[in-house]
Amino acid sequence: MSKPQFKTDLPVLLPAGIRKQHDNFRIRLWHGVALFAFCLFSSGYVFAVEDGAQASALATLVKWIPLLLSGFIFNIVISFCAMALGTFVGTILGLGQISLMPAVKGSSWFVTQFFRNAPWLVLLFFAMFLLPFEFDLGFVVIPFPDWVKAIIGLSLPVMANVSEVVRGAIASLPSGQWEAAESLAYTRRQTLWLIILPQCVKRMLPPWMNLYSILTMATVLASVVGVSEVMTLTGEALAAEGGRTDLLAPFYSFVLLIFFLYCYPIARYTVYLEKKFAVKN
């Protein structure tokens, strides 16, 4: 026999996430910058004292900064392209997950789960080795250089995650919205495009931005498969300097720093959006 279920207003298990900051202090951007700068300078300084014959680690780093930054811009380009591609395919896949046709629904679900559970690096390898280096359409040959393959490889997990975000956002809308639209004689397609999706965009934005941040940090994986982005260039710069161990800390710190400078504001803005939408709803 099932027990009667009562809805209670007991304040148990408040939703995680929507809570007041009990501490006014927040890590601000300059805290991170200061910390990194400290690491950079201190490590550079220690070794400069030890070894006067060579150029100081810091001076060497400064020499390489323009090249490293150009590599980082390449990372950003990869992240934009992979995000665009992943979002586009992922949205279709997410809508497929709420399809009324069992075959579409089932296969969309499976593809989503499969690519969501696979490690990003494995998917990147997957795209690197299994995609052809060019694609022959008969009348035109599209070349697939490594960086294009990297974009495709990185867009696979993005696609799967976007699919889940879309499905989750649609599922989180109260069913009353569907019923109200149905009672007004909207078709399912009209309901979806005119009523449901416009409301979902807001809900999807924070997790989508979070995903972008994760993707940006994942672009360095492309170095493992030989795309010359910032991490590859860092390795090459270190090799060109003759493998000086005193350069390792400042160079890697610098890479950490530029990613932090790029991703931290995104993370803060995501939190801000989450709070803003949480209050409104």
Partner 1 sequence: MNWTPDQPMVSIKDVHKAFGDFEVLKGVSFDVMKGEVICIIGPSGSGKSTLIRCINALNDIQQGSILVEGQEVNDPNLDKLELRKKVGMVFQQYNLFPHKTALQNIMMAPIRVLKRDKKETEELARQLIRKVRLEGKEDSYPGELSGGQQQRVAIARSLAMKPDIMLFDEVTAALDPETVGEVLLTIKELAQDGMTCILVTHEMGFAREVADHIYFTDKGLIIEHGPPKTFFDKAKDPRTKEFLSQIL
Partner 2 sequence: MEAFFEWFRVLYDTTGINLPFLYDSYDRGRMLDGFLTTVQLSVICLFFSVIIGIIGAWLQGSAFTWTRRIVNGYIQLFRNTPPLVQLYFFYFAIGTLLPKVETDWGGQAPMLGSFAWAVISLSFFAGAFNVEIFRSGIEAVPKSTVEAAEALGFTRLQIYMDITLPLAFRVCLPALNNNLVNLVKTTTLAYAIAVPEMLYEANQIWSDNVNVTEMMIFLLIAYFVLVGILVWAMNSWERKLKIPGYG
The encoded tokens of residue 241 equal 């300097």
Pick from 121, 142, 139, 115: which is nearest to 131 by CA?
142
- Around Cβ 160, how many Cβ atoms within 10 Å? 24
Q: Least distance to partner 2 from the beta carbon of 189, Å?
A: 33
The values of phi and psi at residue 117, to 5°, are: -85, -10
Contact status: 5 vs partner 1 (CB under 8 A)? yes
Contact status: 15 vs partner 1 (CB under 8 A)? no
Q: How many residues does the chain have?
A: 281
- Interacting residues of 245 by C-beta distance below 8 A, sequence separation 6+: none
Q: Identify which of residues 154 and 181 has a Cβ nearer to partner 2 in the complex.
A: 154
Judged by CB under 8 A, which stretch of 58-66, 96-104, 199-207, 216-224 contacts partner 2? 216-224
What DSSP element (H or E) covers 271? helix 248-280
Per-residue mark of binding to partner 2, 23-62 (x: CB under 8 A)? x-xxx---xx--x-------x-------------------
Tokens 């910058």, residue located: 33
CB-count burial class (<10 Å; 0-12, 13-18, 19+) for 56: middle
Q: Least distance to partner 2 from the beta carbon of 129, Å?
A: 4
Per-residue mark of binding to partner 1, 88-107 (x: CB under 8 A)? --------------------
Q: How far is CA 128 from CA 100, 154, 228, in A?
A: 35, 10, 14
Residue of 1, 11, 14, 103 interacting with partner 1 (CB under 8 A): 11
Contact status: 242 vs partner 1 (CB under 8 A)? no
Q: Least distance to partner 2 from the beta carbon of 167, Å?
A: 16
Helix axes 230-240, 57-97, angle to 10 degrees: 160
Residues that bind partner 1 (CB under 8 A): 3-6, 8-13
Residues in contact with partner 2 by CB under 8 A are: 3, 5-6, 8, 11-17, 19, 22-23, 25-27, 31-32, 35, 43, 114, 117-123, 125-126, 129-130, 213, 217-221, 223-224, 231, 245, 248-249, 252-253, 255-256, 259-260, 263-264, 267
